[in-house]
């Protein structure tokens, strides 16, 4: 019988306008304690962001998502 490791995940969501309660998924963080593994992958759907908030700071949101990936990579 082979051993199986437990992997957990969390979705990364963008919330353009908190007061409207709208959000969409922009990535995932995967974690496994047994393997000392953590990683994140993100993708910003710019059209969706601007549809929900035409005045959104696209560069700022993109930078925040890169930050999530960087922290998970050990940065």
Q: Report the mean per-residue pLDDT for the chain.
A: 95
Residue 3 resides in a domain:
no
Contact 7, 29 (CB under 8 A): no
Which of 61, 53, 63 minimizes the C-alpha distance to 17?
53
- Reduce the DSSP state of residue 7 to 3 states and report it: coil
* Section 19-33 average pLDDT: 96
Show the domain range for 26. Answer: 8-72
Q: What are the strands of the beta sheet with 8-14, ordered from one edge?
A: 8-14, 24-32, 37-42
Total domain count, the chain: 1
- Reduce the DSSP state of residue 69 to 3 states and report it: helix
Contact 13, 26 (CB under 8 A): yes
Confidence of residue 1 (pLDDT cuts 50, 70, 90): low
Q: What is the pLDDT of residues 38-47, one digit of tens each?
A: 999 999 999 9
């Amino acid at each position: 019988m082979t051993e199986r490791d437990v992997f957990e995940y969390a979705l990364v969501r963008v919330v353009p306008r908190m007061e409207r309660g709208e959000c969409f998924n922009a990535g995932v963080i995967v974690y496994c304690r047994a393997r000392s593994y953590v990683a994140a992958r993100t993708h910003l759907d710019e059209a969706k962001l601007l549809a929900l908030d035409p005045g959104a700071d696209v560069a700022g949101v993109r930078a925040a998502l890169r930050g999530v990936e960087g922290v998970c990579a050990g940065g």
